Amino acid sequence: MLTISVIIPTYNRKDSLLRTLESLKQQTFPMNRFEVIVVDDGSIDDTQVVASQKFSFAFRYVHQKQQGATAARNYGATISMGEILVFIDDDVTVSPPTLEALAEVCCQNEKAIVMGTLSRRSSVIGSVYTATLLASPDHYPIAQENLDLHLVHCNTQLLVCRRSDFLDLGMLQDPTGGHGWPNWDDVDFGYRAHLNGFRLLQSSKATGYHWDYSITDWTVACQRWYRASKSAVWLFKRHQELQKFIPMLRDKTPPRWGKDSFMLVVRKLTRSLGSSGPVIWIMVRLVSIIEQHFPSPVMLRHLYYWLQGASMFHGYREGLRELKLAGARD
């Protein structure tokens, strides 16, 4: 009889976590065949009240000293009892067939890592940016049927694999060595799985919603992209060959004279100029004026992407500087 362990890392997100757990109450997969393990990564709010809640499935709440989501997921896996591991973030809710669908695809395919299909949501439409983003197509790959995905789409927001495979692959690892967050541990895991002959699949029936805090305001989103691009430098240090598979960062690197194509050099120089202080000041002023007086989704979307790209540029360049300093110290 197949059993599942659902692992949810959390930190200071009681309300969001309760929303995730509520969605798990509605699963079509038999309640007596899955457990839910919440690993609290050192929350300092009242998240611990979740431990006293009653659920129709087996439930464990464990608390660890703050070590990050990577360590939390790994700890949850080591104490789990299920044959199948399902990783869900504490800001994701899932549709009733999700666990059943994920387990089905995982069991039908040897050496497979399986992802669900997520859509982006926000609990509060707090800004023009949020409304504009929610009105645009989701940035997630949307599956009409089960799909083979490229390894760079590996995402622990809603991910499943056999417990034995997860342990054999060395669990999740921090490719940045503690140098940044988000730390790309899911992409690193997907790539290591790929090197070991695994496929990354996406289930069309395992659907959910990502209640993304980073889309509440464009400045918050840009900060996240800055951090992600900064830590990507360390991912590429570990897996240099991954650079060609993450094209959004290609024009953020310095030109490689004599190696980059002419068009790529032009793109890099344009990105550098477009990320300069005076240009960004103009863009920020334009966004403010357009948001206040005549919010055009099409125009704003392009400006938001420009600012996002500039944040990624500066984050990546800062990561390169830190890597160089670390090398000098070594």
pLDDT value for 157:
96
Is the model's pTM score more than 0.85? yes
Q: How many of the other CB atoms lie within 10 Å of CB of 1?
A: 6
Q: How many residues does the chain have?
A: 330
Q: Are residues 96 and 245 in the same domain?
A: no
Place of tokens 């497979």: 112
Q: Are residues 12 and 152 in the same domain?
A: yes
Question: Helix-strand-coil percent breakdown of the chain, rounded to 5?
Answer: 50, 20, 30
Q: What are the backbone dihedrals phi and psi of residue 144, each rounded to the nearest 5 degrees, phi first?
A: -90, -20
Q: Omega of the bond prior to 182 within 30 degrees of 0, cis? A: yes
Q: How far apart are CA 162 and CA 287, in angstroms?
A: 47
Q: Are residues 222 and 211 in the same domain?
A: no
Q: Are residues 67 and 183 in the same domain?
A: yes
Place of tokens 């789409």: 153
Q: Are residues 33 and 178 in the same domain?
A: yes
In CATH, what number is assigned to the domain containing residue 126?
3.90.550.10
H or E element in which residue 29 lies: none
Q: Are residues 304 and 281 in the same domain?
A: yes
**Parent domain of 187:** 4-215
Q: How far apart are CA 221 and CA 130, in angstroms?
A: 10
pLDDT in tens, the chain (330 residues): 889 999 999 999 999 999 999 999 999 999 999 999 999 999 999 999 999 889 999 999 999 999 999 999 999 999 999 999 999 999 999 999 999 999 999 999 999 999 999 988 887 777 899 988 888 765 555 556 678 888 889 999 999 999 999 999 999 999 999 888 899 999 999 999 999 999 999 998 999 999 988 888 999 999 999 999 999 999 999 999 999 899 899 899 999 999 999 999 999 999 999 999 999 999 999 999 999 998 888 899 999 999 999 999 999 999 999 999 887 666
pLDDT value for 267:
94
- Among 170, 196, 215, the domain boundary falls at 215
pLDDT value for 138:
56
